[in-house]
Structure 1
Amino acid sequence: MTGPLHAVVRPPGSKSITNRALVCAALAAGTSELRGALFADDTEAMIGVLTALGIEVSADPFAGSLRVAGCAGEVPASAAEIDTRQSGTTSRFTLPLLALGSGSYRVTAHPQMQARPMGTTFDALAEMGVGIEALGSDGHLPATVTSGRARTAVLRIAGDASSQFLSGLLMIGPCLPDGLVIELTTDLVSRPYVELTIAVMASFGAVVEQPDERTFAVAPGGYVATGYEVEPDASAASYPLAAAALCGGSVTVEGLGSSALQGDAAFADVLGLMGADVHRTGHATTVTATRGALLGGTFDFTHISDTAQTLAVLAPFAEGPVTITGIGFIRRKEIDRVAAVATELRRAGTDVHEDPDGWTIHPGPVAPATFETYDDHRMAMSFALLGLRVPGIAISGPGCVAKTFPGYWAMLDGLRPADDGR
Structure 2
Amino acid sequence: MRYKLSAPLQPKAVIELPASKSISNRALIIHALGRGTTVPANLSDCDDTRVMIQALTENHDVIDILAAGTAMRFLTAYLCVTPGTRVITGTARMQQRPIQILVNALRELGAQIEYAGNEGFPPLRITGGELNGQEVTLKGDVSSQYISALLMIGPVLKNGLTLHLTGEIISRPYINLTLQLMTDFGAKAEWISENCIRVAPHPYSDTAFRVESDWSAASYWYQIAALSSQSSIKLKGLFEKSYQGDSEEQRCLPNWASQRNLPTETSYSAKPVNIPNDWTKILSTYPT
Structure 1 and Structure 2 fold alike (TM over 0.5): yes
CA distance in 2, matches of 1:113, 1:305: 26
Equivalent residue for 1:213?
A: 194
Cα offsets for 1:229-285 (capped at 9, x unmatched): 111111222222222234453333122243122111123444x3xxx8344455133
Q: Distance in 1 between matches of 2:229 and 2:69?
A: 35
Structure-to-structure mapping, 1:49-88, within 5 angstroms? 49-53=55-59, 80-88=61-69
Q: How does 1:8-407 map to 2 (within 5 A)?
A: 8-53=14-59, 80-250=61-231, 251-270=233-252, 272=253, 277-280=255-258, 283-289=266-272, 294=275, 297=277, 299-300=279-280, 304-309=282-287, 311=288
SS in 2 for 1:260: coil
Q: C-alpha separation between the residues in 1 aligned to 2:139 and 2:175?
A: 14
Q: Distance in 2 between matches of 1:186 and 1:122?
A: 21
Contact 1:28 1:223 in 2 (8 A): yes
Aligned counterparts of 2:111 and 2:66: Cα–Cα separation in 1: 23
**CA RMSD after TM alignment:** 2.4
Instruction: Give the Cα separation in 1 of the matches to 2:10 and 2:115.
Output: 53
Shift of the 307–161 alpha-carbon distance from structure 1 to 2, 3 Å rule, reads farther
Q: Which residues of structure 1 form unaligned runs of 5+?
A: 54-78, 312-422
Tell me how far apart the structure 2 counterparts of residues 222 and 201 of structure 1 sit (CA, whole Å): 10
The alpha carbon displacement at 1:96 in A equals 0.7
How much does 1:298 deviate?
5.5
Instruction: Give how far 1:28 is off.
Output: 1.4
Task: Report the secondary structure of 2:131's partner residue.
Answer: coil
Deviation at 1:225, TM superposition (A): 0.8
- How far apart, CA to CA, are the structure 1 residues paired with 2:64 and 2:284? 24
> 1:383-420 CA distances to partner (integer Å, 9 max, x unpaired)?
xxxxxxxxxxxxxxxxxxxxxxxxxxxxxxxxxxxxxx
- 1:185 deviation in Å? 1.4
Instruction: Compute the displacement of 1:98 (Å).
Output: 1.0
Q: Using a 3 Å threshold, how does the CA distance of structure 1 residues 156 and 22 change in structure 2: closer, same or farther?
A: same
Q: Check whether the contact 1:268–1:287 (CA below 8 A) recurs between aligned residues.
A: no
- Would you say the 8 A contact 1:52–1:80 is kept in 2? no
Q: 1:305: Cα distance to partner?
A: 4.4
Give the whole-Å Cα distance in 2 for the aligned partners of 1:81 and 1:137. 17
Give aligned pairs, total. 276
Could you tell me how far apart the structure 2 residues matched to 1:308 and 1:117 are?
Answer: 28
Percent identical among aligned pairs is: 36
Question: Match for 1:252: what amino acid?
Answer: K
- The Cα shift of 1:150 comes to 2.1
CA distance in 2, matches of 1:298, 1:117: 34
8 Å Cα contact 1:181-1:217 kept in structure 2? yes
Deviation of 1:115 (Å): 4.0
Cα 1:197/1:294, change in 2 over 3 Å: closer
Q: Secondary structure, in 3 states, of the residue corresponding to 1:256?
A: strand
How far apart in 1 are the matches of 2:62 and 2:86? 6
TM-score normalised by length of structure 2: 0.85
Structure 2: gaps spanning 5 or more residues: 1-5, 261-265
Cα distance change of structure 1 residues 246 and 83 upon mapping to structure 2, 3 Å threshold:
farther
TM-score by length of 1: 0.60
Deviation at 1:151, TM superposition (A): 2.0
Any idea what the Cα deviations from partners look like across 1:345-401, whole Å, max 9, x if unmatched? xxxxxxxxxxxxxxxxxxxxxxxxxxxxxxxxxxxxxxxxxxxxxxxxxxxxxxxxx
- Cα distance change of structure 1 residues 243 and 136 upon mapping to structure 2, 3 Å threshold: farther
Higher relative contact order (CA 8 A, sep 6+): 2
- Gap change, CA 1:254 and 1:149, over 3 Å in 2: same
